[in-house]
Structure 1
């Protein structure tokens, strides 16, 4: 989820909760105010009725209309002493409407000049009050919705403007490629934090580019400096081997030294290749058909390991397996996988190679499963590790696969080692 959308959702949720809380408080405040106003009306009207009754006792025999109904009831002195004024909501049956209507009731007690106590019960219809509250709620809801929409749109526009420098910085970071100078960062902003972030990103990018160049130069120099003495030593070993005075035992020792030097040369080249791959120095890519690469490599590789009498089964899909990769690296990756399956296969074993439009499957006979977590590490050798192996073939294949957005995995299936190379799914932004 984008930072803009995340922030917008959080602010919208907070705004909604605040507005909802304000709406509830406003509603109850309005209800309380209307109730107080109704009670004040009842109290004022009751005072008028009591004053009229004190001046004209005949009022005690009257009753009010529907909208302001009242009645008097004589009570004893004891009832009057225990009586407290009260307000409450009730309902009254209306014959003409054949239904009950809500009313607000007020009861109080007063004393006539002759000493008789009377209870005054007074009612006011609250239909108008309910209508008013309903109208207030409708207007309040409409106002709430309009305010929420306006503030949400305004908040989104403001956030887009605020985060625009961050988006420009992210776009600039995505343009950075290993081994290439940093592009110019054009990101004017008045926000101090974004200014500092941009300066830090440029500084880190420059340091990363400098470190990359230094590491690249060091690796190439180290590899070159190692290759020269190794080549000299191998040449001298060859000269010694041509010396007729050498005994058979000495020649055997020289042969082992020569083989060890050969492994050192291959190891040096493999480490240099692995470092270049991981540093992203192979930037030129193209569409490479894995099927065509296999067609080129398999005849030569099968000839090399002809003595093991390995049975090859090859199956192709309706469409070729095409990957986006540096062509030379694609050849190395496929070659390493096939070589590994041939080198660590048993005599008379099976080698199955299957290609589809989206995958490459290589299976070879084996005696026992391997550790899938350690298998692709540098210098890892299984139980049947060969002396001629550098232990870097699968590590190089995995690095090439990762650089080409491919997934290379291993598993043990039905007595065979299985290597699966597939395209990784595209990540959604």
Structure 2
């Protein structure tokens, strides 16, 4: 034990980036990582952690996902704070999670952030989670392996406070690319950060930096910054561990108002721009540079611009080309009703990102998802309305049902509906 600490203190850096041979590397470490759902694609996993509760991890998690989503990145939140889930409310999500044989579908916010939280599975939002540690840890693993995380650039994991079962489960079970430590200005911040740093280093997880919440209160008259919780110690703590300070979040009425009104996606503030730039650098994006958002949405239609009731028997598909959330092109793709297999291949060939449909066979759905295509079945009505509803995030809540999947691809459907749940 002492030899390990001595080695770490001499190198002064995370083991994950250290090439030295020491006692901590002398034994093969078991790989406890859970497999990602085969229909999911997640590029980067970022843990939001703290040594204590009440410092604003959930806000930092939510707002970082919002900031990167605005710049065209596909973001998601895995709410690992099982006993204190608060993420869905901040986004105004109150519907229940749905799924089928392929897995669980995450909720999607109005702006497109994908979210999975235990509150989406409970009978009521105020139902207490009275579970023992192993059950909670198992739930976190299922959120990773059973949920269909479609094409995610950044997944943020909102951790519970401390260094207990759930943070350990996340670090061991998920391929975490880095953590951001959230703290507050009190003098005990050094000890709190130390716990988080030591755990991350013990698990060989890179630490991206520190975010200080409740940093100051700005006077509305003179602009003076008042240190409500005392003088900040974040700079000296960051220097001690050779970490950057990625943001200072003030006590600001707009933050509380946005969360209370369930409108965090409408919040505007520069407090986490540096943190967002640090994360973009992980995917090779330049500072201040946005990822252009371009989508191709295909909807089977009946010749009158209504959603056709069966994916595999559709004679045509209406193609919508979306750039930066605006329609830039619309065309008709001829499918000739040739069946699921050829239609799936056409979707792949045309580089379709999203298929919105009525009924669809399980084999066809698997084929599309294997090709990285998001499928939203159970939709009816005007195709233009369905496409617009997908873009504003209301389709799955008000129209598409993730459970509308046909077990038998050959039977008939009612027009615009599916009778075979």
TM-score (norm 1): 0.18
TM-score (norm 2): 0.19
Greater C-alpha Rg: 1
Structure number with the bigger relative contact order (C-alpha 8 A, sep ≥ 6) is 2
